[in-house]
Chains A and B, each alone.
Chain A
Amino acid sequence: MHRITLVKILTLLFLTVTISVKAQHDTPEKETVHVESSDSEKGSLRTEIKEYINHHLLDSYDFSLFSYTNDTGEHIYWSAPLPVILFDGGLKVFSSSKFHHGETVANVSGNYYKVFHNKIYKTNAEGTINLDDHHHPTNAKPLDFSITKNVTVIFLVGLLMFFMFSRMAKSYKKNGLMPKGMGRLLEPIVLYIRDDIAIPNIGKKHYKKYMSYLLTVFFFVWIINLLGLTPLGVNVTNNIAVTLALALITYILTTFTANKNYWKHIFWMPGVPVPMKFILAPIELLGTIIKPFSLMIRLYANITAGHIVLMSIIGLMFIFKSWIGSPLSFGLAFALALLELLVAALQAYIFTMLSALYFGMAVEEHDDH
Chain B
Amino acid sequence: MNIPEIVGAGLIVIGAGLGIGRIGGSAMDAIARQPEASGKIQTAMLIAAALIEGIGFAALFAA
Identify whether the interface residues of B are mostly helix, strand, loop, or mixed. Answer: helix
Question: Quick one: which of A294, A302, A305, A349 contacts B51, CB cutoff 8 A?
Answer: A294
In contact, B47 and A298 (Cβ under 8 angstroms): no
Nearest-neighbor residue (CB-CB) of B50 within chain A: A350
B63 at the interface (CB under 8 A from A): no
In contact, A297 and B54 (Cβ under 8 angstroms): yes
In contact, B43 and A196 (Cβ under 8 angstroms): yes
Question: Quick one: which of B46, B53, B54, B58 contacts A349, CB cutoff 8 A?
Answer: B46
Question: Quick one: which of A196, A297, A302, A357 contacts B47, CB cutoff 8 A?
Answer: A357
A353 at the interface (CB under 8 A from B): yes
A160 at the interface (CB under 8 A from B): no
Identify whether the interface residues of A are mostly helix, strand, loop, or mixed. Answer: helix
A198 vs chain B, min Cβ distance (A) = 13
Tier of interface size on chain A? 10 to 19
B55 at the interface (CB under 8 A from A): yes
A9 at the interface (CB under 8 A from B): no
CB contact under 8 A between A298 and B61, given known A196-B43, A353-B43: no
Query: Which residues of chain A come closer than 8 Å to B57, judged between CB atoms?
Result: 297-298, 301-302, 305
Interface readout for B33-63 with A: 1 if CB under 8 Å, 0 if not?
Answer: 0000001000100110011011101101100
A49 at the interface (CB under 8 A from B): no
A291 vs chain B, min Cβ distance (A) = 10
In contact, B47 and A294 (Cβ under 8 angstroms): no
Name the residue among A196, A297, A302, A354 with the largest chain B CB count within 10 angstroms.
A297
Question: Quick one: which of B46, B58, B60, B61 contacts A350, CB cutoff 8 A?
Answer: B46
A259 vs chain B, min Cβ distance (A) = 23
A58 at the interface (CB under 8 A from B): no
A156 at the interface (CB under 8 A from B): no
Query: Which residues of chain B come closer than 8 Å to A349, judged between CB atoms?
Result: 46
Q: What are 14 inter-chain pairs, A to B, with CB distance below 8 A?
A: A294-B55, A294-B58, A295-B54, A297-B54, A298-B50, A301-B57, A301-B60, A301-B61, A302-B57, A350-B47, A353-B47, A353-B50, A354-B47, A357-B47
Other than A297-B57, A353-B46, give 8 A-B pairs with Cβ distance below 8 A. Answer: A196-B43, A294-B54, A294-B58, A297-B58, A346-B46, A350-B46, A350-B47, A357-B47
Give 10 closest A-B pairs by Cβ, nearest first: A301-B57, A294-B54, A298-B54, A350-B50, A297-B58, A297-B57, A297-B54, A298-B57, A298-B53, A298-B50
